[in-house]
Amino acid sequence: MAGNAEVEGKEPINEQAVANIYGAMRTELNQIYSKITELEMEVSEHTLVINAIKPLDPSRRCYRMIGGVLVERTIREVLPAVQRNKEGLDEVITRLNEALEKKKKEIAEFEAKYKIRIRKSDGEVKDDGGKKEGSAQGVLVGPAGSDK
């Protein structure tokens, strides 16, 4: 709620200032969403690695990227480290979800205080639900040189 304290400390002078503050809050909300999505993808990658190496012999050699350097280790050394990293990512995601809820509440309070309503144009009526399904369009092309 630090952003809310800043907003209340300096009352916006006009509608443009309110719109700018609101836009910044929405941008921050979208950044939190993006970071959560990115970290959830990393967690799924960690899960894939854990499931792939768990059944293998613990003394077997494996390679791990650490700070841009590929190092050779054993599964016995790597598996606990990957599991710790996954747990850390889960904790960060939990904290980001809490921050997301706070930001949503802050935005809702700001909208109520300044009576903000979002207008949508005709093309944007199908907000997220309509865009996700069927939005990927492409052309299928057969293999090159298939005239043999």
Question: What is the per-residue pLDDT for 84?
Answer: 98
Question: Under a CB-based contact definition with an 8 Å cutoff, are residues 127 and 120 in contact?
Answer: yes
CB within 8 Å of 60: residues ≥ 6 apart: 74, 75
Domain ranges of the chain: 2-117
Which DSSP string corresponds to 40-57?
HHHHHHHHHHHHHHTTS-
What is the average pLDDT value for the chain, to the nearest integer?
A: 83
pTM for the full model? 0.72
**HSE value, Cβ hemisphere, 13 Å, CA-based, for 139:** 3
In the chain, the percentage of residues whose pLDDT exceeds 70 is 75
- Model confidence over 118-134: pLDDT tens digits? 888 765 544 444 444 44
Between residues 41 and 19, the one the model is more confident about: 41
Q: What type of residue is 122?
A: D
- Model confidence over 11-26: pLDDT tens digits? 777 889 999 999 999 9
DSSP category for residue 10: S
Question: Under a CB-based contact definition with an 8 Å cutoff, are residues 96 and 39 in contact?
Answer: yes
Question: What is the per-residue pLDDT for 143?
Answer: 59
Q: Counting Cβ atoms within 10 Å, is residue 103 exposed (0-12), middle (13-18) or buried (19+)?
A: buried
CB within 8 Å of 58: residues ≥ 6 apart: 74, 75, 76, 79
Q: What is the CATH code of the structural domain delimited by 2-117?
A: 1.10.287.370
